Amino acid sequence: MPRRRAWAGYTDRRAVAMLLLGFAAGIPILLIFSSLSLWLTEAGVDRATVTMFSWAALGYSFKFIWAPLIDALPLSWLTRRFGQRRGWLLLAQGLIIAAILAMAALNPANAAVLPWMAAAAVLLGFSSATQDVVIDAYRIESAPGDAAMQSVMSATYTAGYRVGMIVAGAGALWLASGFGSEKGHYLYAAWRNTYWLMAATMGTGVLTTLWVAEPAVKRERPAGLALGDNARLVGLFVCAVAAFVLVFRWAGGWLPENQGPLLSLLWEGARLSAALMAAVLTGRLLVLLGLVRGEVVRQTWVLPLADFFQRYGRHAALLLALIGLYRISDIVAGVIANVFYADMGFSKDEIAGAVKTFGVLMSIAGGFFGGLLAQRFAVMRMMMLGAVLASATNLLFILLFWQGHNLLFLYLAVAFDNLAGGLASAVFVAFLSSLTSIRFTAVQYALFSSLMTLLPKTLGGYSGSIVNQIGYDGFFLFTALLGLPVLGLVWLVGHKLPLQGRFSGSLKRGRKAT
């Protein structure tokens, strides 16, 4: 593509739209993770409970379950007025704003409201994950078959996302501090006002959705799908979710208190598996009773998953294991990072400057560098490099723990950690894209990105308990060691998987059509 045309792509209306939608997508995630963790810490919530709030973002890990509904179901007046993609975007953005406002209305210093705060955080995670699914589908459908434009739109989306993270991370901390809340001097009104302003920033996403055009893509309804099937699909989804919640809550009372984090993690894994099985069996029962047609369920949920297993056969499990574990070191460590910085005596302003601004810029630089490397070198080699760096940089936080309140060393640790994380993330996205079938792009990409965070976020919820038992130095050594099995999986995929040109070689070599 000529140089002039390449630069012109960044001024295209679609690229600008992805920049703004990326900003809206970057706002919610840190309002569940880092900013909320500091709010809860200042409010006197114990460390173990604070890190468990990270489970509110598990909606990102299960978004593949309802992603097919976003493709299949119209939203009545919203779809008729704005189109399928913009209608779903407006619904998701409205729920995000409502969830942020609900969190702002609750003071976590009162232990009685913590369950309601958790419920609002879960709503925020669910609605923001839904927004991500719709934006991914919108991006793909806005420039179908145009690889150059897709690259431009992905770049502008990522830049906007990182800016949104700066606003919701550093911006939220600066606002809360400016409004008068500090560690040891908690002021609820400061955090309430901060979350009010964060809700207002989501107006950028709403205005962008109203400004952009609906993609000119004719989406065919699945064969044999009648309008009456829509309500049945929603009913099946609601019943399955209800069964999941009931079994998950019922099983929660069986584990004795004060167990170690390992036993707790194993129990939570069994509890989660039982809840998922209950959801699947509920859906199966509704099909057997004739309340939902089996063919509709097959086309909506089963076919996209079956396609992946048909294409990769006995190697599918190996690929899924790599996807589920590749980011485990940095995600688990990241859950408790802000609590760690606060415990080391760093102020919110120092954390905002070093982690939420400088760190995000380093992450962008790492992503840009990783993207360049992924185009020039073998993808699996870059995957190995990313896995080594993401694991090894966790050791820097052991040195920071020994150093104590050392601002220079904080910047050094954050710089290397975010450069490594950005590089690993960029090459991993290239890897996931190579796995995705063109027939089921949105659903399969949602599946891969969900699986990527499921186990790390679940384990990260116990990071506070782990730190209580083995200390911060032991915890960061543990997270570094978590990356060792990933190296073996990367090696196995690179050497054992068929179609090695798709994974072992440069992306320029292309991939088989699916």
User: Could you tell me what percent of the chain has a pLDDT over 90?
Assistant: 22
Question: Is 221 inside a domain boundary?
Answer: no
Largest interatomic CA distance in the chain: 66
Closest by CA position to 165, among listed 342, 351, 34 = 34
CA gap 226, 230 in Å, rounded = 8
Looking at the structure, do residues 254 and 176 belong to the same domain, yes or no? no
CB 55 within 8 A of CB 185: no
Mean per-residue pLDDT, 451-478: 83
Give the pLDDT band (50/70/90) at residue 503.
very low
CA gap 389, 225 in Å, rounded = 48
Of 166, 194, 215, the residue at which a domain comes to its end is 215
Query: What is residue 42's predicted lDDT score, i.e. its pLDDT?
Result: 87
Q: Which residue has the tokens 């400088």?
A: 358
Looking at the structure, do residues 176 and 74 belong to the same domain, yes or no? yes
SS percent in the chain: helix, strand, coil, step 5: 80, 0, 20
Looking at the structure, do residues 99 and 182 belong to the same domain, yes or no? yes
CA gap 445, 451 in Å, rounded = 10
DSSP symbols for 424-463 = HHHHHHHHHHHH--GGGHHHHHHHHHHHHHHHHHHHHTTH
Most confident segment among 113-117, 302-306, 372-376: 113-117
Give the pLDDT band (50/70/90) at residue 98.
very high
Looking at the structure, do residues 176 and 124 belong to the same domain, yes or no? yes
Residues in the chain: 514
Closest by CA position to 134, among listed 98, 85, 176, 179 = 85
Contacts of 505 (CB under 8 A, 6+ apart): 378, 379
Looking at the structure, do residues 275 and 374 belong to the same domain, yes or no? no
CA gap 440, 303 in Å, rounded = 9
How many domains does the structure of the chain reveal? 3
The runs of H, that is alpha helices, within 110-227 are 114-142, 147-166, 172-178, 188-201, 203-211
Calculate helix-pair angle for 407-435, 441-460, nearest 10 degrees: 140
CB 62 within 8 A of CB 182: no
User: Could you tell me what percent of the chain has a pLDDT over 70?
Assistant: 81
CB 29 within 8 A of CB 165: yes
Looking at the structure, do residues 284 and 300 belong to the same domain, yes or no? no
Of 255, 272, 292, the residue at which a domain comes to its end is 292
Looking at the structure, do residues 35 and 66 belong to the same domain, yes or no? yes
CA gap 474, 132 in Å, rounded = 35
Looking at the structure, do residues 135 and 239 belong to the same domain, yes or no? no
Instruction: Map residue 109 onto helix, strand or coil.
Output: coil
Measured at the alpha carbon of residue 298, what is the angle toward residues 294 and 303, in degrees to the nearest 5? 170
Query: What is residue 501's predicted lDDT score, i.e. its pLDDT?
Result: 43
CB 45 within 8 A of CB 114: yes
Domain span at 413:
296-514
Give 312: exposed, middle or buried? Use CB within 10 Å, 0-12, 13-18, 19+. middle
CA gap 464, 176 in Å, rounded = 23
Question: What's the CATH code of the domain at 129?
Answer: 1.20.1250.20
Query: What is residue 509's predicted lDDT score, i.e. its pLDDT?
Result: 38
Give the pLDDT band (50/70/90) at residue 103.
very high
Closest by CA position to 124, among listed 240, 193, 31 = 31
CA gap 242, 280 in Å, rounded = 11
Instruction: Tell how far CA 452 is from the center of its chain.
Output: 8
CB 327 within 8 A of CB 456: yes
DSSP β-bridge partners for residue 182: 185
CA gap 57, 429 in Å, rounded = 20
Give the model confidence (pLDDT) of 237-290 as tens digits. Answer: 778 878 887 887 777 666 555 566 566 667 767 777 888 888 889 888 888 888
The pTM of the full predicted model, rounded to 2 decimals, is 0.70
Looking at the structure, do residues 169 and 260 belong to the same domain, yes or no? no
Question: Is 457 inside a domain boundary?
Answer: yes
Question: Alpha carbon of 143 to those of 75, 300, 387: distances in Å?
Answer: 24, 24, 32
Most confident segment among 206-215, 308-317, 441-450, 459-468: 206-215
CA gap 172, 30 in Å, rounded = 9
Give the model confidence (pLDDT) of 386-440 as tens digits. Answer: 899 989 999 999 999 999 889 999 999 999 998 888 888 777 876 776 777 756 7
Query: What is residue 502's predicted lDDT score, i.e. its pLDDT?
Result: 44
Question: Is 362 inside a domain boundary?
Answer: yes
Is the pLDDT confidence value at 111 over 50?
A: yes
Query: What is residue 1's predicted lDDT score, i.e. its pLDDT?
Result: 44
Looking at the structure, do residues 284 and 315 belong to the same domain, yes or no? no
Looking at the structure, do residues 165 and 238 belong to the same domain, yes or no? no
Looking at the structure, do residues 310 and 422 belong to the same domain, yes or no? yes
What is the amino acid identity at position 343? D
> Of 207-216, 234-243, 485-494, which range is least confident?
234-243
Query: What is residue 326's predicted lDDT score, i.e. its pLDDT?
Result: 92
